[in-house]
């Protein structure tokens, strides 16, 4: 009863719309199984102002990518005075912006792969001369590996740069780290067991994430207690460096040189059958329905902030 009427925000207009719909449907089913008065709400089909008119008490954000994960939705919900799950406006914006998040990682001593920002194809050639091959090219503000390529030689560079730049943003050229790909989920201030990802594809791309059953997952990602703690500690440092809250996921590379490097922080990770946060939660003894419930609980922390903001604005 304290949860009230809950909107599960899903779909949206980003390049990750289909994944968001899959995440949202799974969350909706799980919350209803827990007895929550939950309803689907697609901002691409309905105006956000309807949330207020329909008397929704809070929102479970299952929108991925631009317009849902980048702080714009969070800002709109703040103005409407509706509590929501996960990170706030600034943390969401920073996590979605790969360039600025990398600068912040560096400022707090979290290692991240060397990179350069590009705006035209010629920038990519100059970056490649400095960084060397192999390289990873990706848009600065997309998720789910959308627009991402791994480049091994100069003949592949122009096409990869055009793809990454095709989303209307600057892109980044990043030194490719060879080693284990690790991800660590965060839930209510604690790191869940790490996951090591092994894919037969060139890298853990969109198809490896959502369209194939050949990707292998090992959870926890290591049998070494000290190394597992190191994974979790570095993930929490990266998560907190951006001011993230509630829940999320941190992606890392464990290089062959032994150096752990943070790739990015995801503030609204996938919640599909192939998704990593549910997998890590299961290893920690938390089933999918309980995970959704606990994520929804993170909206209460924000509920305590919103009324105070409204009073301050009125007093001004």
- Catalytic, 304? Answer no
Cis amide bond preceding 291, omega within 30: no
User: Among the options 92, 141, 144, 149, which is catalytic?
Assistant: 144
User: What residue spans of 89-224 are helical by DSSP H?
Assistant: 89-96, 98-107, 121-131, 157-165, 206-210
User: Among the options 20, 87, 266, 275, which is catalytic?
Assistant: 266
Cis amide bond preceding 156, omega within 30: no
User: Among the options 11, 12, 14, 16, which is catalytic?
Assistant: 16
| C-alpha to C-alpha distance for 99 and 109, rounded to whole angstroms | 16
User: Among the options 11, 65, 248, 270, which is catalytic?
Assistant: 270
User: Among the options 67, 86, 101, 210, which is catalytic?
Assistant: 210
241: CB partners within 8 A, 6+ apart: 104, 105, 107, 108, 110
Q: What angle do CA 24, 26, 30 make, to 5 degrees?
A: 115
Q: Shortest CA distance to 277 belongs to which of 193, 213, 203, 207?
A: 193
- Catalytic, 144? Answer yes
User: Among the options 42, 97, 174, 251, which is catalytic?
Assistant: 251
Other CB atoms closer than 10 Å to residue 57's CB: what's the count? 16
- Catalytic, 251? Answer yes
Q: β-pairing, 58-61 with 5-9?
A: parallel
Helix (H, G, I), strand (E, B) or coil at 156: helix
Q: What are the C-alpha distances in Å from 250 to residues 48, 119, 127?
A: 29, 26, 26
Burial class (CB in 10 A: 0-12, 13-18, 19+), 155: exposed
The catalytic residue positions are 16, 144, 210, 249, 251, 264, 266, 270
């Amino acid at each position: 009863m304290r949860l009230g009427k809950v909107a599960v925000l899903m779909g949206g207009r980003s390049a990750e719309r289909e994944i968001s719909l899959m995440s949202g449907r799974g969350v909706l089913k799980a919350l209803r199984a827990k007895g929550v008065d939950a309803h689907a709400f697609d901002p691409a089909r309905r105006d956000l102002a309807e949330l207020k008119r329909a008397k929704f008490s809070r929102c479970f954000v299952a929108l991925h990518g631009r317009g849902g994960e980048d702080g714009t939705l969070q800002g709109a919900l703040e103005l409407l005075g509706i509590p929501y799950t996960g990170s706030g406006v600034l943390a969401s914006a920073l996590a979605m912006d790969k360039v600025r998040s990398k600068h912040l990682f560096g400022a707090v001593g979290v290692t991240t792969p060397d990179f350069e920002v590009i705006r035209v194809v010629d920038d990519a050639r100059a970056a490649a001369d400095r960084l060397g091959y192999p390289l990873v090219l990706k848009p600065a503000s997309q998720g789910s590996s959308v627009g991402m390529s791994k480049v091994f030689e100069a003949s592949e560079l122009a096409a990869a740069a055009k793809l990454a730049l095709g989303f209307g943003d600057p892109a980044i050229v990043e030194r490719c780290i060879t080693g284990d790909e690790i991800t660590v989920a965060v839930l209510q201030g604690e790191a869940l067991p790490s996951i090591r990802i092994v894919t037969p594809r060139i890298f853990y791309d969109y198809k490896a994430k959502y369209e194939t059953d050949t990707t292998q997952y090992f959870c926890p990602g290591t049998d070494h207690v000290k190394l597992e703690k190191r994974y979790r500690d570095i993930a929490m440092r990266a998560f907190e460096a951006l001011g993230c809250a509630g829940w999320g996921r941190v992606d890392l590379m464990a290089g062959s040189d032994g150096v752990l490097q943070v790739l990015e922080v995801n503030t609204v990770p996938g919640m599909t059958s192939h998704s990593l946060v549910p997998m890590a939660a299961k290893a920690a003894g938390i089933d999918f329905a309980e995970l959704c419930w606990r994520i929804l609980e993170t909206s209460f922390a924000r509920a305590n902030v919103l009324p105070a903001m409204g009073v301050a604005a009125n007093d001004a």
